[in-house]
Structure 1
Protein backbone atom coordinates (compact mmCIF):
# COMPACT_ATOMS: atom_id res chain seq x y z
CA UNK A 1 0.00 0.00 0.00
CA UNK A 2 2.75 2.51 0.87
CA UNK A 3 4.44 1.88 -2.47
CA UNK A 4 1.11 2.57 -4.20
CA UNK A 5 0.82 5.91 -2.42
CA UNK A 6 4.34 6.86 -3.49
CA UNK A 7 3.77 5.77 -7.07
CA UNK A 8 0.52 7.73 -7.23
CA UNK A 9 2.21 10.89 -5.98
CA UNK A 10 5.06 10.53 -8.45
CA UNK A 11 2.66 9.77 -11.31
CA UNK A 12 0.54 12.85 -10.73
CA UNK A 13 3.68 14.93 -10.30
CA UNK A 14 2.93 16.49 -6.95
CA UNK A 15 6.48 16.20 -5.69
CA UNK A 16 9.95 16.12 -7.12
CA UNK A 17 13.48 16.78 -5.90
CA UNK A 18 15.02 17.40 -2.49
CA UNK A 19 14.90 20.59 -0.44
CA UNK A 20 15.72 21.34 3.20
CA UNK A 21 15.23 18.30 5.43
CA UNK A 22 14.54 20.17 8.67
CA UNK A 23 11.08 21.69 8.20
CA UNK A 24 9.90 21.49 11.83
CA UNK A 25 11.10 23.61 14.73
CA UNK A 26 10.14 24.09 18.38
CA UNK A 27 7.93 27.00 17.35
CA UNK A 28 4.58 25.85 15.97
CA UNK A 29 3.71 26.54 12.34
CA UNK A 30 0.46 26.04 10.42
CA UNK A 31 0.37 24.00 7.20
CA UNK A 32 -2.40 23.65 4.59
CA UNK A 33 -2.98 20.20 3.04
CA UNK A 34 -1.72 19.86 -0.53
CA UNK A 35 -2.17 16.14 -1.27
CA UNK A 36 -5.56 14.47 -1.66
CA UNK A 37 -4.74 12.25 1.31
CA UNK A 38 -4.04 15.24 3.57
CA UNK A 39 -7.16 17.03 2.31
CA UNK A 40 -9.33 13.97 3.01
CA UNK A 41 -7.89 12.92 6.36
CA UNK A 42 -6.00 15.64 8.25
CA UNK A 43 -7.05 19.00 6.86
CA UNK A 44 -4.82 21.87 8.00
CA UNK A 45 -2.37 21.04 10.78
CA UNK A 46 -0.18 22.90 13.25
CA UNK A 47 3.20 21.28 13.70
CA UNK A 48 6.28 21.70 15.85
CA UNK A 49 8.96 19.30 17.04
CA UNK A 50 6.72 18.62 20.06
CA UNK A 51 3.17 18.25 18.72
CA UNK A 52 0.94 17.76 15.67
CA UNK A 53 -2.47 19.42 16.11
CA UNK A 54 -5.41 18.73 13.80
CA UNK A 55 -8.38 20.95 12.96
CA UNK A 56 -10.54 18.81 15.28
CA UNK A 57 -8.38 19.92 18.21
CA UNK A 58 -7.00 16.39 18.61
CA UNK A 59 -3.24 16.02 18.63
CA UNK A 60 -0.23 13.71 18.69
CA UNK A 61 2.69 14.34 21.03
CA UNK A 62 6.07 14.10 19.31
CA UNK A 63 9.51 13.37 20.70
CA UNK A 64 12.54 13.83 18.46
CA UNK A 65 14.07 10.41 17.84
CA UNK A 66 16.58 11.46 15.15
CA UNK A 67 16.75 15.08 13.93
CA UNK A 68 18.71 14.07 10.81
CA UNK A 69 17.78 10.50 9.93
CA UNK A 70 19.60 9.30 6.81
CA UNK A 71 17.48 7.32 4.37
CA UNK A 72 15.39 7.53 1.24
CA UNK A 73 12.64 10.00 2.06
CA UNK A 74 10.12 11.90 -0.01
CA UNK A 75 7.80 10.93 -2.84
CA UNK A 76 10.89 10.70 -5.04
CA UNK A 77 12.80 8.73 -2.38
CA UNK A 78 15.64 11.16 -3.15
CA UNK A 79 15.48 13.30 -0.02
CA UNK A 80 18.50 12.01 1.96
CA UNK A 81 17.55 13.24 5.45
CA UNK A 82 14.33 13.58 7.47
CA UNK A 83 13.37 14.36 11.02
CA UNK A 84 12.06 11.23 12.77
CA UNK A 85 9.82 11.46 15.82
CA UNK A 86 8.41 8.97 18.32
CA UNK A 87 4.67 9.46 18.52
CA UNK A 88 2.47 9.15 21.58
CA UNK A 89 -1.24 9.67 21.85
CA UNK A 90 -4.02 8.80 19.44
CA UNK A 91 -5.68 11.37 17.18
CA UNK A 92 -8.70 9.12 16.62
CA UNK A 93 -11.14 9.91 13.83
CA UNK A 94 -10.34 13.07 11.89
CA UNK A 95 -12.04 14.34 8.72
CA UNK A 96 -15.05 12.25 7.66
CA UNK A 97 -14.19 9.70 10.34
CA UNK A 98 -10.86 8.81 8.72
CA UNK A 99 -7.85 7.93 10.86
CA UNK A 100 -4.14 8.46 10.20
CA UNK A 101 -3.25 4.76 9.81
CA UNK A 102 -6.48 2.82 9.65
CA UNK A 103 -6.86 0.72 12.78
CA UNK A 104 -3.11 0.75 13.58
CA UNK A 105 -1.59 3.09 16.19
CA UNK A 106 1.03 5.52 14.88
CA UNK A 107 4.40 4.88 16.56
CA UNK A 108 6.77 7.03 14.46
CA UNK A 109 6.47 10.02 12.18
CA UNK A 110 9.00 11.38 9.69
CA UNK A 111 9.00 14.92 8.29
CA UNK A 112 10.98 16.48 5.45
CA UNK A 113 10.63 19.27 2.92
CA UNK A 114 10.65 18.63 -0.80
CA UNK A 115 10.52 20.88 -3.88
CA UNK A 116 8.56 20.47 -7.09
CA UNK A 117 7.73 22.90 -9.85
CA UNK A 118 9.00 25.85 -7.81
CA UNK A 119 6.95 24.99 -4.72
CA UNK A 120 8.16 23.59 -1.41
CA UNK A 121 6.08 20.93 0.33
CA UNK A 122 6.19 19.41 3.80
CA UNK A 123 6.12 15.62 3.61
CA UNK A 124 4.93 13.66 6.62
CA UNK A 125 4.98 9.86 6.74
CA UNK A 126 3.31 7.85 9.49
CA UNK A 127 4.63 4.48 10.66
CA UNK A 128 3.16 1.72 12.82
CA UNK A 129 6.21 -0.43 13.55
CA UNK A 130 8.20 -0.77 16.74
CA UNK A 131 11.52 -0.02 14.99
CA UNK A 132 12.43 3.50 13.84
CA UNK A 133 11.85 3.94 10.10
CA UNK A 134 14.73 4.33 7.67
CA UNK A 135 12.81 5.69 4.67
CA UNK A 136 9.44 5.85 2.98
CA UNK A 137 9.82 2.34 1.55
CA UNK A 138 9.77 0.96 5.12
CA UNK A 139 7.15 -1.81 5.46
CA UNK A 140 5.71 -0.08 8.54
CA UNK A 141 4.74 3.09 6.63
CA UNK A 142 0.96 3.36 6.62
CA UNK A 143 0.40 6.78 5.06
CA UNK A 144 2.06 9.84 3.57
CA UNK A 145 0.64 13.35 3.78
CA UNK A 146 1.85 16.46 1.97
CA UNK A 147 1.30 20.05 3.01
CA UNK A 148 2.05 23.47 1.59
CA UNK A 149 4.90 25.23 3.37
CA UNK A 150 2.76 28.40 3.31
CA UNK A 151 0.99 29.35 6.53
CA UNK A 152 -2.60 28.11 6.76
CA UNK A 153 -5.27 30.81 6.80
Structure 2
Protein backbone atom coordinates (compact mmCIF):
# COMPACT_ATOMS: atom_id res chain seq x y z
CA UNK A 1 0.00 0.00 0.00
CA UNK A 2 2.81 2.41 0.81
CA UNK A 3 4.36 1.75 -2.61
CA UNK A 4 0.98 2.58 -4.20
CA UNK A 5 0.83 5.85 -2.24
CA UNK A 6 4.32 6.86 -3.28
CA UNK A 7 3.86 6.00 -6.97
CA UNK A 8 0.26 7.28 -7.29
CA UNK A 9 -0.38 9.85 -4.55
CA UNK A 10 -3.14 11.67 -6.44
CA UNK A 11 -5.01 8.47 -7.33
CA UNK A 12 -4.73 7.25 -3.74
CA UNK A 13 -5.98 10.56 -2.37
CA UNK A 14 -8.96 10.57 -4.75
CA UNK A 15 -9.82 6.96 -3.91
CA UNK A 16 -9.55 7.67 -0.18
CA UNK A 17 -11.83 10.71 -0.54
CA UNK A 18 -14.42 8.69 -2.46
CA UNK A 19 -14.42 5.92 0.16
CA UNK A 20 -14.66 8.39 3.04
CA UNK A 21 -17.27 10.45 1.23
CA UNK A 22 -19.55 7.50 0.63
CA UNK A 23 -19.16 6.34 4.22
CA UNK A 24 -20.24 9.72 5.58
CA UNK A 25 -22.82 10.55 2.92
CA UNK A 26 -26.39 10.73 4.15
CA UNK A 27 -29.37 9.53 2.20
CA UNK A 28 -31.68 12.14 0.74
CA UNK A 29 -33.76 14.01 3.28
CA UNK A 30 -37.01 12.16 3.81
CA UNK A 31 -40.04 13.92 2.35
CA UNK A 32 -43.62 12.68 2.40
CA UNK A 33 -46.73 13.76 0.56
CA UNK A 34 -48.50 15.00 3.73
CA UNK A 35 -45.75 17.60 4.17
CA UNK A 36 -46.85 19.42 1.02
CA UNK A 37 -49.25 22.34 1.05
CA UNK A 38 -52.05 20.96 -1.09
CA UNK A 39 -55.51 19.50 -1.44
CA UNK A 40 -56.17 15.76 -1.37
CA UNK A 41 -59.34 14.41 -2.97
CA UNK A 42 -61.12 11.56 -1.15
CA UNK A 43 -60.36 8.08 -2.49
CA UNK A 44 -61.96 5.72 0.04
CA UNK A 45 -65.68 5.54 0.78
CA UNK A 46 -65.07 6.68 4.34
CA UNK A 47 -63.18 9.76 3.13
CA UNK A 48 -65.93 10.55 0.61
CA UNK A 49 -68.73 10.25 3.15
CA UNK A 50 -67.07 11.72 6.26
CA UNK A 51 -64.29 14.21 5.48
CA UNK A 52 -64.60 15.06 1.81
CA UNK A 53 -61.45 16.53 0.35
CA UNK A 54 -58.86 17.67 2.86
CA UNK A 55 -56.37 20.48 2.52
CA UNK A 56 -53.07 20.45 4.42
CA UNK A 57 -51.19 23.70 5.03
CA UNK A 58 -47.82 21.99 4.62
CA UNK A 59 -45.05 21.24 7.07
CA UNK A 60 -41.44 21.00 5.86
CA UNK A 61 -40.27 19.75 9.28
CA UNK A 62 -40.83 16.01 8.95
CA UNK A 63 -41.00 14.16 12.28
CA UNK A 64 -40.12 17.24 14.29
CA UNK A 65 -42.16 17.09 17.51
CA UNK A 66 -43.97 20.37 18.05
CA UNK A 67 -44.00 21.38 14.37
CA UNK A 68 -47.44 22.50 13.23
CA UNK A 69 -49.78 22.51 10.28
CA UNK A 70 -53.49 22.92 9.62
CA UNK A 71 -55.99 20.51 8.08
CA UNK A 72 -59.14 21.88 6.45
CA UNK A 73 -62.02 19.48 5.76
CA UNK A 74 -64.36 19.53 2.77
CA UNK A 75 -66.99 21.49 4.70
CA UNK A 76 -64.48 24.24 5.57
CA UNK A 77 -63.83 23.25 9.20
CA UNK A 78 -60.20 23.65 10.23
CA UNK A 79 -58.19 21.93 12.90
CA UNK A 80 -54.60 22.48 14.04
CA UNK A 81 -52.14 19.59 13.99
CA UNK A 82 -49.00 19.32 16.11
CA UNK A 83 -46.45 16.63 15.25
CA UNK A 84 -45.57 14.15 17.95
CA UNK A 85 -43.02 12.37 15.74
CA UNK A 86 -42.76 9.60 13.19
CA UNK A 87 -42.18 5.87 13.27
CA UNK A 88 -41.56 2.83 11.06
CA UNK A 89 -44.29 0.37 12.05
CA UNK A 90 -47.42 -1.32 10.75
CA UNK A 91 -49.82 1.57 10.05
CA UNK A 92 -51.97 0.17 7.23
CA UNK A 93 -54.95 -1.87 8.41
CA UNK A 94 -55.01 -3.92 5.19
CA UNK A 95 -51.30 -4.73 5.00
CA UNK A 96 -48.94 -6.01 7.70
CA UNK A 97 -45.91 -4.35 6.11
CA UNK A 98 -44.19 -1.55 7.97
CA UNK A 99 -44.43 2.03 6.72
CA UNK A 100 -43.17 5.42 7.77
CA UNK A 101 -45.95 7.43 9.36
CA UNK A 102 -46.16 10.70 11.25
CA UNK A 103 -48.55 11.21 14.16
CA UNK A 104 -50.18 14.55 14.93
CA UNK A 105 -52.15 15.71 17.97
CA UNK A 106 -55.39 17.45 17.01
CA UNK A 107 -55.94 20.89 18.54
CA UNK A 108 -59.61 19.91 18.91
CA UNK A 109 -62.15 17.51 17.46
CA UNK A 110 -63.59 19.13 14.30
CA UNK A 111 -67.13 18.03 15.20
CA UNK A 112 -69.68 17.19 12.52
CA UNK A 113 -68.27 16.98 9.02
CA UNK A 114 -70.07 15.67 5.89
CA UNK A 115 -73.51 14.13 6.19
CA UNK A 116 -73.50 14.72 9.97
CA UNK A 117 -70.60 12.26 10.37
CA UNK A 118 -67.73 12.71 12.82
CA UNK A 119 -64.19 11.35 12.97
CA UNK A 120 -64.68 9.36 16.19
CA UNK A 121 -68.25 9.38 17.40
CA UNK A 122 -69.55 12.00 19.84
CA UNK A 123 -67.10 14.94 19.69
CA UNK A 124 -67.88 15.79 23.33
CA UNK A 125 -67.59 12.38 25.01
CA UNK A 126 -65.39 10.51 22.49
CA UNK A 127 -63.34 13.14 20.61
CA UNK A 128 -60.74 12.48 17.95
CA UNK A 129 -57.31 13.04 19.53
CA UNK A 130 -54.69 12.02 16.95
CA UNK A 131 -54.30 11.62 13.20
CA UNK A 132 -51.53 9.57 11.63
CA UNK A 133 -50.50 10.10 8.00
CA UNK A 134 -48.81 7.50 5.85
CA UNK A 135 -48.29 6.79 2.18
CA UNK A 136 -49.91 3.65 0.84
CA UNK A 137 -50.71 2.07 -2.51
CA UNK A 138 -53.94 0.82 -3.98
CA UNK A 139 -54.73 -2.85 -4.46
CA UNK A 140 -53.46 -4.24 -7.72
CA UNK A 141 -51.48 -1.25 -8.95
CA UNK A 142 -48.89 1.21 -7.77
CA UNK A 143 -51.12 4.26 -7.36
CA UNK A 144 -49.92 6.18 -4.32
CA UNK A 145 -52.44 7.32 -1.73
CA UNK A 146 -52.34 9.44 1.39
CA UNK A 147 -53.58 7.32 4.27
CA UNK A 148 -54.97 8.85 7.44
CA UNK A 149 -55.79 6.91 10.61
CA UNK A 150 -57.74 8.67 13.37
CA UNK A 151 -57.46 7.70 17.04
CA UNK A 152 -59.57 8.72 20.02
CA UNK A 153 -57.21 7.65 22.81
CA UNK A 154 -55.37 10.14 24.97
CA UNK A 155 -52.21 8.07 24.42
CA UNK A 156 -50.10 8.65 21.31
CA UNK A 157 -50.83 5.76 18.92
CA UNK A 158 -48.00 3.25 18.53
CA UNK A 159 -49.24 1.47 15.38
CA UNK A 160 -52.51 0.68 13.57
CA UNK A 161 -53.48 -1.73 16.36
CA UNK A 162 -53.28 1.00 19.02
CA UNK A 163 -56.19 1.61 21.33
CA UNK A 164 -59.21 3.64 20.13
CA UNK A 165 -58.77 3.51 16.35
CA UNK A 166 -61.80 5.43 15.06
CA UNK A 167 -61.35 5.10 11.32
CA UNK A 168 -59.04 5.04 8.35
CA UNK A 169 -59.26 7.24 5.27
CA UNK A 170 -57.53 7.29 1.88
CA UNK A 171 -56.94 10.27 -0.40
CA UNK A 172 -55.64 10.57 -3.94
CA UNK A 173 -52.18 12.04 -4.35
CA UNK A 174 -52.65 12.85 -8.06
* TM category, shorter: 0.7 to 0.9
Structure 1 segment 1-153 matched on structure 2, within 5 A: 22-25=32-35, 27-47=36-56, 48-49=58-59, 50-66=69-85, 68-74=86-92, 75-103=94-122, 104-116=126-138, 117-150=141-174
CA-atom RMSD, angstroms?
A: 1.7
Shift of 1:121: 0.6
Deviations 1:78-112 (A, max 9, x none): 13320111111221111111011111211111000
- Give the alignment's TM-score, normalised by structure 1: 0.78
Please tell me whether Structure 1 or Structure 2 has the larger radius of gyration of its CA atoms: 2
Which structure 2 segments of 5+ residues have no match? 1-29, 60-68
CA contact (8 A) 1:33 1:148 kept: yes
Deviations 1:89-138 (A, max 9, x none): 22111111101111121111100001231200110000111111111111
Structure number having the greater helix percentage:
2
Q: Which has the higher contact order (CA 8 A, sep 6+)?
A: 1
Moved >2 Å (runs of 4+)? 20-23
| Greater mean deviation of Cα atoms: 27-36 or 73-82 | 73-82
Structure number having the greater strand percentage:
1
User: Aligned pairs, how many?
Assistant: 129
